[in-house]
Amino acid sequence: MKNVLTIAGSDSSGGAGIQADLKTFAAHGVFGMSVITAVTAQNTQGVFAVQDITPAVIAKQLDAIFEDIEVAAVKIGMVSQVDTIKTIAAKLREYGASNIVADPVMVSKSGYRLLNPAAEVTLIEELLPLAAIVTPNIPEAEVITGRTITTLAAMEVAARDIFALGPKSVLMKGGHLDGDSTDILFDGEEFIYLPSRRIATKNTHGTGCTLSSAIAANVGRGLSMRDAVAAAKEYITVAIEHSLSIGKGVGPTNHFYTLYKKAGMFND
Ligand SMILES: Nc1ncnc2c1ncn2[C@@H]1O[C@H](COP(=O)(O)OP(=O)(O)OP(=O)(O)O)[C@@H](O)[C@H]1O
Ligand SMILES: Cc1ncc(CO)c(N)n1
């Protein structure tokens, strides 16, 4: 079995962050491990408080894992602060971590800033060059590039700009555009379109976390980046199709449908 690590924040409601990542890993048959960067008090309606974990404790979590266990892939999600990012980047360099999937989490669906704006430049300078792939949504890509993105053509331009910042590939997520939910993968050679029709649901809490973790699980299992992203896009589409009406607000993705439906264990 391959071991895959998520470095991210905790979502108390279980829909995004560390919890979404570990569920995604389990559904992909990889052994999930976690370095927690922050604890959020969060549910389907909003984020109500955040406690950042100190850089020293984040560094110790990373040491504990990398000094003991082989890590096949790493997903990075919420990283909060300048010092958090610098600590993570230094440790990943120190241990020569590979197959790094960087999800540049900035603002939650409910509008809460999960990344201190003062740390945006640090995220761009420290994490993007380490990444095998970076997975911005449209608002994040707009912050990273300083461009306004409203079309697929603009997504391609932004993907090139972000690629120039150092990651080996860029997945531009189209979930925030109108119409179909088309993602575009750019690996420095060509643009690969990953279309899916827009699923009519309000329950999209944790979609970005789920997608990036699925990519990490797939590259950790040895798939090429193109195959890993294509399989992850299929996974997130099913997870949104069968998303769960849990709570009063934006419900979470469904990590169990594909696995348990087949086994006759899932009733929805
Ligand atoms: N309504 C939808 N129907 C189909 N696919 C969707 C829908 N919404 C999002 N997606 C897909 O889900 C994935 C995540 O995209 P999205 O742009 O929502 O990420 P995100 O904004 O980073 O998510 P999060 O808020 O969890 O950080 C992408 O593959 C996107 O195309
Ligand atoms: C902890 C956490 N990470 C990521 C997201 C995605 O927006 C979220 N809502 N919460």
Domains of the chain by residue range: 3-262
Residue closest by Cα to atom 2 of ligand 2: 17
Using an 8 Å Cβ cutoff, are 212 and 77 in contact?
yes
Distance 254 CA to ligand 2 centre (A): 16
d(CA 105, CA 112) in angstroms, rounded, equals: 11
Q: Which atom of ligand 2 is nearest to the CA of 9?
A: 1
Query: Ligand 1 in contact with 238 (CB < 6 A)?
Result: no
Alpha helices in the chain (DSSP H): 17-27, 55-66, 82-94, 120-122, 138-145, 152-163, 207-220, 225-241, 257-262
pLDDT in the model for residue 259: 73
Q: Name the pairing type of β-strands 183-186 and 47-52.
A: unpaired
* Amino acid identity at 72: A
**pTM over 0.90, yes/no:** yes
pLDDT in the model for residue 257: 83
Give strand pairing partners of 134.
102, 170
Residue closest by Cα to atom 6 of ligand 2: 108
Q: Is the ipTM of this complex over 0.90?
A: yes
d(CA 12, CA 263) in angstroms, rounded, equals: 29
Q: Which residues are catalytic?
A: 173, 204, 206-209
Query: Of 240, 266, 267, nearest to 254 (Cα)?
Result: 240
pLDDT in the model for residue 109: 84
Q: State both tokens at 144.
A: 């990273």
pLDDT in the model for residue 262: 65
Cβ < 6 A, ligand 2 pocket: 8-9, 11, 16-17, 40, 42, 77-78, 105, 108-109, 114, 208-209
Ligand number, closest to the Cα atom of 141: 1
Q: State both tokens at 263.
A: 């086994």
Query: Ligand 1 in contact with 233 (CB < 6 A)?
Result: yes
Residue closest by Cα to atom 11 of ligand 1: 175
Q: State both tokens at 93.
A: 């360099």
What are the backbone angles phi and psi of residue 24, rounded to the nearest 5°? -65, -45
At what angle are helices 55-66 and 82-94 packed, to 10 degrees? 20
d(CA 192, CA 27) in angstroms, rounded, equals: 25
Query: Ligand 1 in contact with 196 (CB < 6 A)?
Result: yes
Q: Name the pairing type of β-strands 31-42 and 47-52.
A: antiparallel
Query: Ligand 1 in contact with 136 (CB < 6 A)?
Result: no
Half-sphere exposure of 220 (CA within 13 A, CB side): 31
Query: Ligand 1 in contact with 209 (CB < 6 A)?
Result: yes
pLDDT in the model for residue 267: 60
CATH T-level fold of 3-262: UDP-N-acetylmuramoyl-L-alanine:D-glutamate ligase (3.40.1190)
Question: What are the Cα distances from residue 121, in Å, to 104, 164, 186, 190?
Answer: 11, 15, 22, 27
Residue closest by Cα to atom 8 of ligand 1: 175
* Amino acid identity at 242: H
pLDDT in the model for residue 268: 58
Instruction: Average pLDDT across each block of 10 residues of the chain; the chain has 268 residues. List them in order.
Output: 97 98 96 98 96 98 98 98 98 98 94 95 98 97 96 97 98 93 97 95 96 98 98 96 94 86 65
Can you say whether the dihedral through the CA atoms of 116, 118, 124, 126 is positive or negative? negative
Distance 42 CA to ligand 2 centre (A): 9
